[in-house]
Amino acid sequence: MTTRIEYTNHDHDTCIHAALERAAEICYARGQRLTALRKQVLELVWHSHKPVGAYDVLAMLSKGQDRPAAPPTVYRALDFLQEQGLVHRIASLNAFIGCSCPDTPHVGIFLICEKCRTTRELAHEVGGEASLLPIQDLADSTGFQTRGALVELTGLCPACQLEKADA
């Protein structure tokens, strides 16, 4: 099953609030602590639907603070959020984005706009004996045992395509 996340007519404040609530529920159910710092980092990652780098998170955290956060603190928070499936790391951008379905095991498939950097996750659920992706079938045929998969596709989002066509 593939889920498409749409951002047109999107109430982003509600989106962030729902992501934080779901994160708290998931951490509680797993016996994990969603500390104030971890929650704040998650909120900053969800601030837009664009991947954000660790140093960008650090800069946002340090804004207006007498004592800025240290890089290892941010990296530990991001590692925790990633381990809990609350964020994904977009390797090609060395950045993080909030997971749209953290309570469901899935393969993250990301559509990354090269112009505006808006990133959308298509989530392919893991389960049953169905193949996750043709790529995974190829890996399996070589005897490689996969533990996870994340697919990044780059191009132009519909809004940037329209902008390009109008120019």
Q: How far apart are the first and last CA of the chain?
A: 37
CATH of the domain at 43: 1.10.10.10
Asked whether the predicted pLDDT for residue 105 surpasses 60, the reply is: yes
pTM here? 0.81
* More confident position, 130 or 78: 78
Residue 82, domain extent: 2-166
Give the chain's mean pLDDT: 84
Q: What is the pLDDT of residue 1?
A: 33
Give the model confidence (pLDDT) of 81-98 as tens digits: 999 999 999 999 999 999
> What total number of domains does the chain contain?
1
Q: What is the DSSP string of the chain?
A: -EEE---TT--HHHHHHHHHHHHHHHHHHHT----HHHHHHHHHHTTSSS-B-HHHHHHHHHTT-SSPPPHHHHHHHHHHHHHTTSEEEEGGGTEEEE-S-TTS-EEEEEEEETTT--EEEEEEE--TT--S-HHHHHHHHTT---S--EEEEEE--HHHHHHHHH-
